Amino acid sequence: MQDKVALIAGGARGIGREIALRLAGAGWSIATCYRSSEADARDLTESLTASGVRAMTVQADVSDPAAAQRLVEQVQSEMGHIDALINSAGPYHRVPLLQETVEGWQLMFDNNLHPVFYLSKAVAPAMMERKWGRIINFSMANADQQIGQPAITAHYIAKSGVLILTKSLAKVLAPHNITVNAISPGFIDSGSAPPEELSKMVKNIPAGYIGGTKDAASVACFLLSDEASYVNGANIHLSGAWGV
């Protein structure tokens, strides 16, 4: 995993941050982007640089296709290339379906599904030329079941769409030695959900505990490795058997 460059969308906090730290420990150069978490992004970049790896962070709203393209071009210009794209951004809100606004509905798709397409499309040409690449997308446990989700409907549909997009990209890019896989977390202590919500859910998790960001980073590192070169179009549940 030496001499590789990873672009992590949503890498300033939570799971993305943990993946950045883990990859840096293996010698990867790290580029992250953030929309509003500037302090967290700067802190991460300073920590990575201090550890001896190349690191950069860029403010970018990747729900804008032009901004996503500019981000990829900037990272390629400053880092030389991009070997791995990790789409870990994915905010959500809980709103009863019939109380959801048009703006809130669109926001879930703009931030959870569309950037995966924009960024993947932007990084693919150079990966195809170099005949190597890894793309990891984050969905959610049970999104593959397409069950009713009255409180997070738009988010859930977007995450189901991520799975379809992942499989489609895998078929298109596999001939170029590029893998595209999904990780679907259940309840992970990543800072995105209130602690009281996580504590209430423990009783519903067969494993009996809440997962951590290190669990997600371990799966991501496997998918990025040469050992996973034949794993393509997969959806790995990371949920302690919740939602399966």
Residue range 62-83, pLDDT digits in tens: 999 999 999 999 999 999 999 9
Task: Identify the H or E element spanning 95.
Answer: none
Q: What is the pLDDT of residue 132?
A: 97
| pTM for the full predicted model | 0.94
Taking residues 155-184, report their average pLDDT: 98
User: How many other CB atoms are found less than 10 A from the CB of residue 193?
Assistant: 14
Taking residues 179-192, report their average pLDDT: 91
pLDDT digits (tens, 9 = 90+) for 90-100: 788 899 999 99
From the candidates 34, 92, 118, 156, give the one annotated as an active-site residue.
156
Q: Is the pLDDT of residue 196 over 90?
A: no
Structure tokens at 47: 């920590």
The question of whether 156 is a catalytic residue gets the answer yes
Per-residue confidence band for 2, with pLDDT thresholds at 50, 70 and 90: low
Please name every residue paired with 32 in a beta bridge, in sequence order, or none if there are none: 8, 57
Q: For 75-84, 118-127, 187-196, which range has the lowest pLDDT when averaged over its residues?
A: 187-196
Mean pLDDT over each residue of the chain, to the nearest integer? 94
How far is the CA of 215 from the CAs of 46, 110, 112, 131, in angstroms?
24, 27, 21, 29
Whether residue 211 contacts residue 188, with contact meaning beta carbons closer than 8 Å, is answered with yes
Q: What is the pLDDT of residue 199?
A: 83
CA distance 221 to 1: 9
User: How many other CB atoms are found less than 10 A from the CB of residue 144?
Assistant: 18
| CATH fold group of domain 5-238 | Rossmann fold (3.40.50)
How far is the CA of 232 from the CAs of 153, 186, 188, 235, in angstroms?
28, 21, 24, 9
